[in-house]
Amino acid sequence: MKKKISSILLGLACLWGAASPAFALSANQTYDYGDVALSGIVNDDKYDWGAAVIRNGDKYQMWWTRQDPHDSVYYAESSDGLHWYDLQRVLMPAENAWESIHVADPSVVIVGGTYYMFYEAPRSPYQTCTPEGYDNAIFMATSTDGKTWNKYPSNSDPQPVVRQPVSTYCSGVYGVGQPQVLYRNGQFEMYYTFAAHPDSLGRNDVARAVSSDGINWGASENHAKVLKGGGADVKFSPLLNKYVMVYTLNNQVGRTNPPPDSAFTYDVHLLTSDDGVSWTGSQPATMWDAASASNSITVGAPRATRTFANFLTDGQGNIPGDTFHIYYMEGQIHLPSEDFKNTASTWDLRVRSAHIADLPGTLAFMEGMNVKTSSSGSLYRMCGTQKCAYVNWGTYEAINGSRAGDYVTVPANLLDPVPGYKYYLEGLNIKRPGSSGIEWVNGFTRYGYTSWASFLAYNNNDGSAYFTLTDEEYDRVEASLPYGGTRP
């Protein structure tokens, strides 16, 4: 828990002198999907925060920090980015010179089939003269599946790949941490919190570093300090051809008459950059006015905190498509006179989508998620930029199995503008009433079985493994799905 004292101070730090946004977001261009659903975890008193989420092929993968009983890194998978299963702890405190207190703040990229995780840990108290939880450093581990990790240079004696300047060792400062990494143009790019200035121990910055191998980054004192503050995530949007940052700002920054402590809150905002280095801006008041008026991802309620925000990306840190999906921590915030632990049990992971402004046809959905409107009983699966209809409840249950409740109810005005749908029956066997021919649907194509023997061979001798559709249902499927010949 000590770690959270330093994290909350840095992760919620005000970014003085940040940039005016390059584009604006309006209220009807964002959608709040609520808390993520962690299988087997309901209304518990543990905190969850700092999620790194990747869409990898047909599944989503997430690594995040969970209290157990101290900060550890957890992993889970999902088919829709909202409902998560197979939860498991993949990194935990260990008896070595660095990790006896906590491991946290994971950031993951996939390069050449190898997963690279960057995370933070503080010097163990019995190994250093600093107080417990300080002198944080950044570490790296690799994996072939995202679950079993090999730390650099060894699991028994992990060593930092980025560390604070030697002159600030044992000075009681936070150090360096909260790494966020992307892989672009053949090199790793890291943004992290630098809170170890030799000449000003109260100064925090978002620092930027590059590396060809993920191990050698150079001295932290020489890294570019691109913004004041800390706890920012930076990824790349190919559609905008810009770097995009999410960061947290409190609602008292730059205000002549700030809200009272009873309404104190933190919210998530956006910035962009052409090169990832120059995030030009003005004074705090100007930054606050610009960000809060036109560029806020979340708008706070009294006593709320929304922070540790991260983008959904592909394996290299690219933001897919024309919609930002942002995972962030939301919960109550302690009063200034209180210890943060008074409210930390309320901190949960949440998801919000934010459209890229001034681009046509923006969507609020993640591929693979099941959606319906409150005014309709129809369920759809999001297939890229289309909504794919289920023919009936039986096909929905067949595709989703025991997870039949994994759908989200959204306003009709969000779902109605989505381009035309096709009938989604992937992986199912279907037939027309009165016909002996059985087809197998793969993606958006139907394939026929050459014989009953071939059907049994493909379906483990289960002669009932098909759906008989009504003539009307089959006609609609036939009209929307081409015939691709015999099943390969």
pLDDT at 441: 92
Token reading at 397 = 């249950």
Q: Which helix (H) or strand (E) holds 141?
A: strand 136-143
Pick the CATH number of 31-358 from 3.20.20.480, 2.115.10.20, 3.40.30.10, 3.40.50.300: 2.115.10.20
Per-residue model confidence as pLDDT tens digits over 18-47: 333 334 445 456 788 989 999 998 778 899
Q: How confident is the model at residue 285 (pLDDT cuts 50, 70, 90)?
A: very low
Instruction: Give the C-alpha separation, 23 to 294, whole Å.
Output: 8
pLDDT digits (tens, 9 = 90+) for 295-311: 566 766 777 888 999 99
156: pLDDT strictly greater than 50? yes
**Confidence label for 163 from pLDDT (cuts 50, 70 and 90):** very high
Q: What is the DSSP string of 360-419?
A: TT-----TT-EEEETT----EEEETTEEEE-SSHHHHHHHHGGGTT-EEEE-HHHHTTSP
- Distance in angstroms (rounded) separating the CA atoms of residues 138 and 122: 9
pLDDT average, residue stretch 173-178: 94
* Cα-to-chain-centroid distance, residue 297: 14
Q: Look at residue 174 in the predicted model and tell me its pLDDT.
A: 92
Residue 47's CB: how many other CB atoms inside 10 A? 23
Q: What is the pTM of this model?
A: 0.89
* The predicted structure's pLDDT at residue 19: 32
pLDDT of residue 280: 58
Q: In the beta sheet, which residues pair with residue 429?
A: 440
Predicted local distance difference test score (pLDDT) of residue 400: 87
| pLDDT for position 268 | 84
pLDDT in tens, 40-72: 987 788 999 999 999 999 899 999 999 988 899
Show the 3-state SS of 170-193: CCCCCEEEEEEEEEECCEEEEEEE
Residue 463 has a pLDDT of: 95
**Which pLDDT score, from 0 to 100, does residue 255 have?**
66
- How much is the mean pLDDT over the chain? 85
Among 201-210, 247-256, 312-321, 432-441, the minimum mean pLDDT is found in: 247-256
Mean pLDDT of 181-202: 91
Phi, psi dihedrals of residue 6, rounded to the nearest 5°: -70, -40
Identify the pLDDT of residue 287.
Answer: 39
- Every domain of the chain and the residues it spans: 31-358, 365-487
- Is pLDDT of 88 > 80? yes
Question: Is residue 133 predicted with pLDDT exceeding 70?
Answer: yes
Q: What is the DSSP string of 328-362?
A: EEEEE---TTS-GGGTGGG-EEEEEEEEPTT-TT-
Q: Quick one: average pLDDT of 209-226?
A: 97
- Residue 2's pLDDT is 36
**Cis peptide bond N-terminal to 153, omega within 30:** yes
The average pLDDT across 213-220 equals 98
Q: Taking a C-beta distance cutoff of 8 angstroms, is the pair 310, 324 a contact?
A: no
pLDDT digits (tens, 9 = 90+) for 405-426: 999 998 888 888 888 888 888 8
Answer yes or no: is pLDDT of 282 > 50: no
pLDDT tens string 340-384: 788 889 999 999 988 776 666 677 889 999 999 988 888 999 988
What pLDDT is stored for residue 14 in this prediction?
A: 31
Q: What is the pLDDT of residue 291?
A: 42
- Which has more confidence, 272 or 294? 272
In this prediction, residue 299 carries a pLDDT of: 65
Please give the average per-residue pLDDT across 432-437, as a whole number.
93
* pLDDT tens-digit map of 441-484: 988 899 999 999 999 999 999 999 999 999 999 998 998 889 99
> What confidence score (pLDDT) does residue 275 get?
95
